[in-house]
Structure 1
Amino acid sequence: MFKRLFRDRSGNFGMMTAILLVPVIGTAGLAIDISNALMVRSTLQAAADAAAIAAVAETSAGVMQAMRLNSDGQLTDAIEDAKKVFMGHANMSEDYQLKDFDVDVVKAGTQLKAVFTFNATVPTTLARILGQADVTVAGKAEAVFQTDTFRDFYLLLDNTPSMGVGATPTDVDKMVANTGDKCAFACHIVKNGVEDMNSYYNLAKRLGVTIRIDVVAQATAALMDTAKSSRKSSNQYRMAVYTFGEKAEDTKLLEVSSLTDNLDQVQTKASKIGLMSIPYQGYDNDQQTNFDRALKNIGDLMGTAGTGSSAGNPEKILFFVSDGVADAYKPSSCTKATTNGRCQEPIDTTQCEVLKNKGYRIAVLYTTYLPLPTNDWYKKWIRPFQSEIPTRMQACASPGLYFEVSPSQGIADAMNALFLKIITSPRLSS
């Protein structure tokens, strides 16, 4: 009987079909299950991508936290945000089980990097026949954000008597027409603390004449609005404001506002900047514009130049506003002719180079020195080197950070334009 059974070939097809049906169904089921798993992975990957991007988005809590940090490190606010975004996008269901996910967001220099990983299991259906109970899916998402640079601005504003000239040709003409000596300068005379109400400074006020320093003060105050609207965090930009002094008897740097990120405070103080006073006409042979000393002294205040990667390592910017003509006692090193040691010359760029070599960037706003054709002093001493003034001022500036504003232009617009150029220009990271 057994011999007949082994020799019998009838019904072979049915038996083979039955035997093969299990792996065929299992394999087909596995293909379906893998397809489902890929759909789940796609859903989770999209959620991870969204979470990583959200963690370092420009307006995210993580970026705000990074801008407040003085050093590198993990950003806990960004990590919590990323987890919430992931869970909101993952569409949790019974079709899969999330086994694990992890997110890390770290600030390193000016770079924020978010890394999100996940893994989940997707239950199988027909593939269970082959002993495959589930399929594991995993993924990873990365996002990088470059933070903006932190910068300290030191504004050095020339408020010496030459900045008392009329702000526009019309203002100059009005002063010339209303002064016996045809003087275009609104000299601010204060003697022993008593204001001379008959000085040309007060005459200019009565005539409604705007002088150059008034426009600079208004422009400096307005600049704070631009800085506030441009910053990504309240401590990204700090400002300090200095002038050449309150009075000619004490020509040293005058601190209008110390370095602070309270730009509203800086704005209030800057709006009150005035022209340096003199006790009488010709005091100290008019030697109140000592650029060499002012630049050296403000360089001593600025501290170490940083890379801008954090609030604790800011770039240092000197924002220098002047008409570019020095007038100081300099008997031996003056580049022009002197009278009893009085040196009238375009700015000597020696101190500018010293500051740049220390890593500071210098932004120069040159307020064009107006020709004064009716003034004999101007014709003898300034006109011979008038064409050199803008060239020297540009040489003082760091590459690309020079701006000249003529009387017909707005100084406020020019200061804003130069500031925006500074904050959008490329920065060396090391």
Structure 2
Amino acid sequence: MVRIKHLREALRSFSGERSGNVIILFAFAILPMVGFAGALIDYSRAANVRLQLNAAADAAALAAVSQNAMLKSLADAKTDAEKIFDADASEYKSTVQNRTVTLENIGLGRSVKVTYTATVPVNVMNLVGIQTVAVTGNASASGARAPFIDFYLMLDNSPSMGVAATTAEITRMEEATKSVRQCAFACHDLSNPNNFYKKAKEIGVQMRIDVVRKATQELTDTAKTTATLPQQYRMATYTLGASCKGKKLTEIQSLTTSMETAKASASAIDLMTIPYDGYNSDQCTDFDKAMTDINGIIPNPGDGSSKTSPQKVIFFVSDGVADFANSGGCSKKLSGTRCQEPIDTQFCNSIKSRGVKIAVLYTTYLPLPSDSWYNTWIKPFQAQIPKNMEACASPGLFFEVGINQGISEAMTALFQRVVTKAYLSN
């Protein structure tokens, strides 16, 4: 009985002891807590690796569409992008299982996608049979390549472009001609050896055509410095004709990649001559025919992605007033068969419908309020002249330059606008 009593007391004493139960319960609880903390450490390391590899992928993608890369072939750009990824991911080279750089050119656009897969070794998670954590990522980017463009300069050299270039020059010209006929225009009348064109040259008055000539030469310099590819731009130059007699679109320079050649030939740009004062009732500005003729000269445009597929742009500089025989389709009142009107935009539309762009530099038509001819025939539609010139231009490629503003600066600004639009629209 004594032994049984002692056994009962021992059991009662053990069952009443609480500290052993706590230790056992804590032992069971801490195992998953330690495992969870270890997993967090392993996953945090994997997340850091993914962050670094994502940065490497971003750098590779952006490099593939950088300005320098866009000048390279797809194969070379791909190789460079792979090298950049590998260099930036060198610390984690052993974890990267695969990386792929995919590039594609569509027209002037280039897209790139960089993808990778990696496996990051773990430590604590080994205890539950997990050896690695998989990490994947990708990066994409796109850019535009520099376009190849053929520029066709169509320069209005009709008698109205013989006006003095600034208000100060107009005053000088009027003062120099007041003994004969006070005039702001330097008409190139071949029948008169003392014509106003000669007078302007003698006294050093700059005419608009002089400024256009100089601006054209400076434009070739701009094209040369803007180009990022060999033979990226070609340029041809035309005027409305050397003479009002038998006037026709006249080639000053055929299409050339040499901006030096284009600059030198531009020295031949000059005011249209007239056989004598009042020849052909001064009908010397036929935009309809000029637009039709240049449309026939320009081949179908390409997308600008190569030398053999250049975009086509007409660079049209004019004061915007037609003056020609057109008894059947003039939009304004006639003087006999003489039609004086703003440019007819349907001829511009025929060109643009082929994908040829038209950049228009409108040299503001000079109002002459003291001139009865101007007041009768031009003033009624003066406000419509710039509207039609803008409608002739392709969207965003219109620029107006006033009587005292710089034509050269305007031509340069319009050229840059053409090039920028070529990038953005492709």
Q: How high is the TM-score relative to the length of structure 1?
A: 0.78
Answer yes or no: is the 8 Å Cα contact 2:326–2:337 preserved in 1. Answer: yes
Using the TM superposition, give the Cα deviation of residue 231 of structure 1 relative to its aligned residue in structure 2, in angstroms.
5.2
Partner of 2:101: 103
Using the TM superposition, give the Cα deviation of residue 79 of structure 1 relative to its aligned residue in structure 2, in angstroms.
0.6
Answer yes or no: is the 8 Å Cα contact 2:108–2:303 preserved in 1. Answer: no
Give the Cα separation in 2 of the matches to 1:296 and 1:327. Answer: 16
**1:65 aligns with one of 63, 72, 87:** 72
Partner of 2:236: 240
Partner of 2:88: 89
Answer yes or no: is the 8 Å Cα contact 2:173–2:183 preserved in 1. Answer: yes
CA gap 1:397/1:145 in 2 versus in 1, 3 angstroms: closer
**2:205 aligns with one of 201, 206, 209:** 209
Partner of 2:78: 79
Answer yes or no: is the 8 Å Cα contact 1:30–1:126 preserved in 2. Answer: yes
Q: Please give the secondary structure, in 1, of the residue aligned with 2:114.
A: strand
Deviation per residue, 1:207-246 (Å, 9 max, x gap): 0100011111222333344445555545555433211122
Using the TM superposition, give the Cα deviation of residue 167 of structure 1 relative to its aligned residue in structure 2, in angstroms.
1.3
Q: Please give the secondary structure, in 2, of the residue aligned with 1:183.
A: coil
CA gap 1:20/1:244 in 2 versus in 1, 3 angstroms: same
Q: How does 1:137-176 map to 2 (within 5 A)?
A: 137-147=135-145, 151-176=149-174
Partner of 1:185: 185
Q: Please give the secondary structure, in 1, of the residue aligned with 2:90.
A: coil
The structure that has the greater radius of gyration is 2
**1:280 aligns with one of 276, 300, 320:** 276
Q: How does 1:375-414 map to 2 (within 5 A)?
A: 377-378=373-374, 381-383=377-379, 385-414=381-410
Give the Cα separation in 2 of the matches to 1:22 and 1:276. Answer: 99
Give the Cα separation in 2 of the matches to 1:175 and 1:374. Answer: 15
Answer yes or no: is the 8 Å Cα contact 2:147–2:422 preserved in 1. Answer: no
Answer yes or no: is the 8 Å Cα contact 1:47–1:86 preserved in 2. Answer: yes
Give the Cα separation in 1 of the matches to 2:396 and 2:24. Answer: 87
Answer yes or no: is the 8 Å Cα contact 1:307–1:429 preserved in 2. Answer: no
Q: Please give the secondary structure, in 1, of the residue aligned with 2:91.
A: coil
CA gap 1:38/1:15 in 2 versus in 1, 3 angstroms: same
C-alpha RMSD of matched pairs (Å): 3.9
Q: How does 1:334-413 map to 2 (within 5 A)?
A: 334-339=330-335, 341-372=337-368, 377-378=373-374, 381-383=377-379, 385-413=381-409
Partner of 2:247: 251
Answer yes or no: is the 8 Å Cα contact 1:183–1:375 preserved in 2. Answer: no
Using the TM superposition, give the Cα deviation of residue 303 of structure 1 relative to its aligned residue in structure 2, in angstroms.
2.7
Answer yes or no: is the 8 Å Cα contact 2:108–2:423 preserved in 1. Answer: no
Answer yes or no: is the 8 Å Cα contact 1:220–1:412 preserved in 2. Answer: yes
Using the TM superposition, give the Cα deviation of residue 395 of structure 1 relative to its aligned residue in structure 2, in angstroms.
3.8
CA gap 1:152/1:24 in 2 versus in 1, 3 angstroms: same
Using the TM superposition, give the Cα deviation of residue 304 of structure 1 relative to its aligned residue in structure 2, in angstroms.
2.5
| Letter aligned with residue 64 of structure 1 | L
Deviation per residue, 1:89-148 (Å, 9 max, x gap): 113368x34333221221123432211222334344454455544444333222222446
Give the Cα separation in 1 of the matches to 2:312 and 2:182. Answer: 43
**More divergent stretch after superposition (281-290 vs 48-57):** 281-290
Using the TM superposition, give the Cα deviation of residue 297 of structure 1 relative to its aligned residue in structure 2, in angstroms.
0.8
Give the Cα separation in 1 of the matches to 2:136 and 2:302. Answer: 42
Where is the helix percentage greater, Structure 1 or Structure 2?
2
Answer yes or no: is the 8 Å Cα contact 1:344–1:381 preserved in 2. Answer: yes
Partner of 1:290: 286
Using the TM superposition, give the Cα deviation of residue 328 of structure 1 relative to its aligned residue in structure 2, in angstroms.
1.9
CA gap 1:242/1:25 in 2 versus in 1, 3 angstroms: same
Give the Cα separation in 1 of the matches to 2:223 and 2:96. Answer: 46
CA gap 1:32/1:190 in 2 versus in 1, 3 angstroms: same
Give the Cα separation in 1 of the matches to 2:346 and 2:35. Answer: 84
Partner of 2:9: none
Give the Cα separation in 2 of the matches to 1:367 and 1:81. Answer: 48
Gaps spanning 5+ residues in structure 1: where?
A: 1-10, 67-74
Give the Cα separation in 1 of the matches to 2:50 and 2:281. Answer: 82
2:75 maps to 1:52: no
CA gap 1:388/1:60 in 2 versus in 1, 3 angstroms: closer
Partner of 2:16: none
CA gap 1:351/1:18 in 2 versus in 1, 3 angstroms: closer
Using the TM superposition, give the Cα deviation of residue 162 of structure 1 relative to its aligned residue in structure 2, in angstroms.
1.9
How high is the sequence identity, in percent, across the aligned residues?
47
Partner of 1:70: none
Give the Cα separation in 1 of the matches to 2:269 and 2:157. Answer: 8
Partner of 1:331: 327
Answer yes or no: is the 8 Å Cα contact 2:146–2:423 preserved in 1. Answer: no
Answer yes or no: is the 8 Å Cα contact 1:55–1:78 preserved in 2. Answer: yes
CA gap 1:17/1:403 in 2 versus in 1, 3 angstroms: closer
CA gap 1:76/1:25 in 2 versus in 1, 3 angstroms: same
